[in-house]
Amino acid sequence: MNDIRVSNRDREAVVVRLSVAASEGRLTFAEFEDRSAHAYAAKTYGELDVLVADLPMLARGEAVVVRNRAGVARAHEGTALSFLALAAGWAWVPMYGHLHVVLFPGVAGVVFGLFGLRANASHFWRALATLGVLGGSLCVALQVAWAVYHLLD
């Protein structure tokens, strides 16, 4: 079992368990950071087991809460990023006549959208993040075309 590869969900569950231990005072902040970095880099269950070996076992109900907390935190993070991507990615449209001032919303739409795509599993929220990336990309492309036009002019 120690040589079986882990999933992102397994890594996140261990990080949530480590954060619970840190909030209880069982780990210092430096230990939490170090173990979390190792958890995200882990490839097998054996590597994850070492990170929590000196922590008390969670009761069955607590383990479910830890797994759910990891999923819920990620879902909420992705939802907010998708909304931000959509808003920023298309915020430049009303200011289209002033392309010299709208680069920031376009870049923000692309960045938030890419992070929103990474954080979401739901097709709806991924679609919103994709629309934000597309709108932001269009804004950046128009900004570059505007700059080139004015440089050549």
Residue with tokens 């900004």: 143
The candidate with the shortest Cα–Cα distance to 66, out of 58, 77, 75, is 58
Q: How far apart are CA 153 and CA 134, in angstroms?
A: 28
Q: How far apart are CA 58 and CA 35, in angstroms?
A: 18
Choice among 46-55, 81-90, 128-137 with the minimum mean pLDDT: 81-90
| Banded pLDDT at 38 (limits 50, 70, 90) | very high
Question: What percent of the chain is predicted at pLDDT more than 90?
Answer: 15
In this model, does residue 64 exceed pLDDT 80?
no
Contact 87, 46 (CB under 8 A): no
| Banded pLDDT at 111 (limits 50, 70, 90) | confident
Average pLDDT over residues 102-106: 71
DSSP string, 33-94: HHHHHHHHH--BHHHHHHHHTTSPPPPHHHHHHHHHHHHHHHHHHHHHHHHHHHHHHHTTGG
Average pLDDT of the chain, as a whole number = 78
In this model, does residue 62 exceed pLDDT 80?
no
Sequence-distant (≥ 6) Cβ neighbours of residue 108 within 8 angstroms: 84, 88, 89, 136
In this model, does residue 96 exceed pLDDT 70?
no
| Banded pLDDT at 41 (limits 50, 70, 90) | very high
In this model, does residue 28 exceed pLDDT 60?
yes
Q: How far apart are CA 63 and CA 16, in angstroms?
A: 10
Q: How far apart are CA 134 and CA 117, in angstroms?
A: 12
Q: How far apart are CA 138 and CA 146, in angstroms?
A: 12
- What pLDDT is attached to residue 22? 86
In this model, does residue 115 exceed pLDDT 60?
yes
